[in-house]
Amino acid sequence: MAKNKTLTEEDDELLAELGFEIESKKATGYTAREERIMAGFEEIQNFVKEKRRLPEHGEDKDIFERLYAVRLDQIRNQEECRNLLKNLDYQNLLNGEFSQETDASVGMNDDELLAELGIDLNEENSITELRHVRSQAEKKAAEEIANRIRCEDFEHFKPLFESVKKDIETGYRNTIVFRKDAGFTKTTLQPGQFIIIGGQTSYIAEIGETIKAPNGEDDARLRVVYANGTESNILLRSLIRAMYKDETSRFITEPNDGPLFSSENSEYDLDSGTIYVLRSFSDHPLVRENRNIVHKIGVTGGDVKKRISNAKVDPTFLMADVEIIATYKLANINRAKLEKVIHKFFGAAKLDIETRDRFGRNVKSHEWFLVPIFIIDEMVEKIKDGTISDYYYDPTSVRLMKY
């Protein structure tokens, strides 16, 4: 027996002579595969130590966090790995105490997951070699897919988000559940579309030129702006995939879905309605100084004269007589929704006028607007021709402006 042989080497030779196949081991006593498993687990431990949580699946997560999540799932599912790592598991990551639900990517290895994300890595650049240094290409991939940056021109988009929020509150727009049964490749998104993803209202500002994804499907780079003032340059298919995985994702409908004018009557609506415009004889300073452009705008299904018959004792009418300036008769309308649309349209010119009721209590009236009658005429015409959603009222220039 050679004196420079270790006991381990002699044992291996004896086992080999007995017909057992022995995998070559390094001086550490671990095979190359075992070392890779241990190194990968150490990365997960470092992540948990730094973030104080387990790595998670999800399109909104950093790509390496998602890889750690997949790797941890695979380790937990293999007894060989659990046995190898149990003495190193000082954070109790293997015992199921922090078990999470996973997605379809659990069964993929690291390279397969990257391929699914549209990132092509060759053998020399396998994800198992990323333990110490990330290449520039990998950093770029992670940033493109997961990271959001500050939206420098968010002031341009902020009014759109505020408008959509009001539209949803008033019922002018609705949110509808993202339907998964239509099929992934059948789902399309359009420029100017609003969606809700990860609980965040998001606006698809731009869609770039069509490109081919690794799987042969058409794809495109999007500019997506979020309500919190950030934006991302994400791939179309990545965003749709994220919507599939997010159980709360929703589409936000376009204005007027669920029409103001209908061929069917609801139990709350008559066959027709009237938009009315009133002017007040109140002595309130704001009204007195701007009497010709302070108007109350409402919608009723009854007689307007009867509606205002008790104006002098009604805080809604500022406890004063009013005169009818204009009426517009419309057929087959949803009156409640139409009134909300009008009040929202003139929201920038809305007045909160406080008066005292007949019992001496201070009461605020909310349906009065500082807007001239010719603008109201234009607004009604836009309602009639169905283009109201393309315009907004600018009180500074006293004009209807197109978005």
Q: 3-state secondary structure string, 51-71? A: HCCCCCCCCCCCHHHHHHHHH
Mean pLDDT to the nearest integer, 291-300: 91
101 or 73, which is more confident:
73
User: What is the chain's percent helix, strand, coil content, to nearest 5?
Assistant: 40, 20, 40
> What pairs with residue 197 in β-bridges?
200
Q: By mean pLDDT, which of 10-24, 328-342, 346-360 is the weakest?
A: 10-24
Q: Are 55 and 65 in contact (CB under 8 A)?
A: yes
Q: pLDDT grade, residue 12 (50/70/90)?
A: low
CA 123 to mean position of chain CA atoms: 37
Q: Specify burial of residue 365 (Cβ count, 10 A radius: 0-12, 13-18, 19+).
A: buried
The pTM score is 0.38
Dist CA 164 CA 273 (whole Å): 26
In this predicted structure, the answer to whether residue 16 has a pLDDT above a threshold of 70 is: no
- Nearest 10 degrees: Cα torsion 99, 103, 109, 111: -130
Mean pLDDT to the nearest integer, 78-104: 72
Q: Are 274 and 304 in contact (CB under 8 A)?
A: yes
Q: By mean pLDDT, which of 217-231, 273-287, 325-339 is the weakest?
A: 325-339
Dist CA 229 CA 161 (whole Å): 10
Dist CA 67 CA 115 (whole Å): 12
* Domain ranges, ordered by start, for the chain: 7-145, 153-252, 272-402
For residue 351, the surrounding DSSP H or E stretch is: strand 350-356
Dist CA 74 CA 83 (whole Å): 13
Mean pLDDT to the nearest integer, 161-186: 68
Q: Spell out the alpha helix ranges (H) of 234-372.
A: 236-245, 285-289, 304-307, 335-345
Mean pLDDT to the nearest integer, 29-35: 80
Predicted confidence at residue 270, as pLDDT, reads 40
Site of tokens 């006593």: 29
Segment 239-261, tens digit of pLDDT: 888 888 777 788 888 765 444 54
Predicted confidence at residue 324, as pLDDT, reads 94
Closest CA to 110 of 99, 121, 100, 102: 121
Tell me the two tokens of residue 217.
Answer: 């499907």
- Say how many C-beta atoms besides its own lie within 10 A of residue 208's C-beta: 13
Dist CA 335 CA 269 (whole Å): 7
Predicted confidence at residue 188, as pLDDT, reads 73
The letter for the amino acid at 304 is V
29 or 133, which is more confident:
29
Q: pLDDT grade, residue 362 (50/70/90)?
A: confident
Dist CA 367 CA 210 (whole Å): 48
Local structure of 180: helix, strand or coil:
coil
Q: Are 259 and 246 in contact (CB under 8 A)?
A: no
Local structure of 368: helix, strand or coil:
strand
Cβ-Cβ contacts under 8 Å for 282 (sequence gap 6 or more): 288, 318, 319, 320, 355
Cβ-Cβ contacts under 8 Å for 44 (sequence gap 6 or more): 55, 68, 71, 72, 75, 93
- Say how many C-beta atoms besides its own lie within 10 A of residue 34's C-beta: 18
Q: Are 76 and 95 in contact (CB under 8 A)?
A: no
Predicted confidence at residue 371, as pLDDT, reads 94
Q: Above pLDDT 70, what percent of the chain?
A: 71
Q: Above pLDDT 90, what percent of the chain?
A: 15
Outline where DSSP puts E strands in 147-253: 149-150, 175-177, 194-197, 200-212, 218-226, 230-232, 250-252
Q: pLDDT grade, residue 187 (50/70/90)?
A: low
